[in-house]
Amino acid sequence: MAEALLSVRELKKWFLQEPGFFPSLFNRGRSIAVRAVDGISFSVSEGEILGIAGESGCGKTTTGMTLVKLYEPSGGEIRFRGDDISSFQGKDLKAYRRRAQIIFQNPYESLNPRMTVLDTVSEPWKIHGETDKRKREELVARALERSGLAPPREFFHRFPHELSGGQRQRVAIARAIVLEPKFLVADEPVSMLDVSIRAGVLKLLWDFSRKLGMAIVYISHDLSTIRQICDRLAIMYLGKIVEIGPTEEVIQNPAHPYAQALIAAVPVPDPESFRPEPQIDMEVPSALDIPSGCRFHPRCSRRKEDCSQIEPPLQEISPQHHVACFT
């Protein structure tokens, strides 16, 4: 594998919550920590797409927001080309933001309804000091064309309400790539789009990785889209990565009980096909009260005594395929 462009080591993002009156009687007024991301490690190389999947609340979106420093990490390291960005402020952070961008899930919320497409996509260049209006228009036209909006100048003076859902998301993508970043976080970029439009947006992301050499972290709960474009897949559960490896290897041969259940829950478009139902007990525990040992053990049908006492580390079970499980 190529040298990592971005590497993460023991990354943590905790959110402190002040207890209410009655809880404060029992914990003596101490703050409660929501351990949204709790010590994860991985790397992404240039031209590679890493998928992160898991149930809602597993920490995948928080991971993406922390990677681009929209959230300040609570601990661990995020290294971009060897530099630890955790302490970046001011000019250093601004320079990093030019090389690392994010596509948000909902284009209806991420686009300013009072700004035209030209203003929206050119805004990053204004922030980074490009004063030549003609040059900005050329850069915007190129970003829109790369994002599948052609001819691009026909979209310059349109507002978000004059665009379809797919066009809005393509504008959001154009805004993210107009600075030609080397690292991109795509947070559920097609979940708000019709199925007929998704393939085109996924192909855009694949082209960005292969033709422009971008490293992409693709966050989704949809394993079918992850399977289409991602080189590797990480499965998250309650703030931890429980399995990570080549996408096809993880999907075809999942080793962690949670990964197995997650993949088994994906519907198969064949009425004659039969698969056993996923064996998961209970609901997802609260992130305020994470179980000891393996976080999945209260819901696991294969749990052993050690599972409730010791947290399993990620161990390699085949080339580049790592699993955190004792069973």
In tens, the pLDDT along 37-80 reads: 999 999 999 999 999 999 888 999 999 999 999 999 999 999 99
pLDDT of res. 305: 85
Which pTM value belongs to this model?
A: 0.90
3-state class (DSSP) for residue 78: strand
Q: At 143, which amino acid appears?
A: A
Band the pLDDT of 18: cuts 50, 70, 90.
low
In the CATH hierarchy, which fold is given to the domain comprising 4-323?
Rossmann fold (3.40.50)
> pLDDT averaged over the chain?
89
pLDDT of res. 302: 84
pLDDT of res. 286: 79
Q: Where are the domains of the chain?
A: 4-323
Q: Which of 173, 197, 199, 195 minimizes the C-alpha distance to 184?
A: 173
Q: DSSP string covering 150-204, please?
A: SSGGGSTT--GGGS-HHHHHHHHHHHHHTT--SEEEEESTTTTS-HHHHHHHHHH
| 93: CB partners within 8 A, 6+ apart | 69, 85
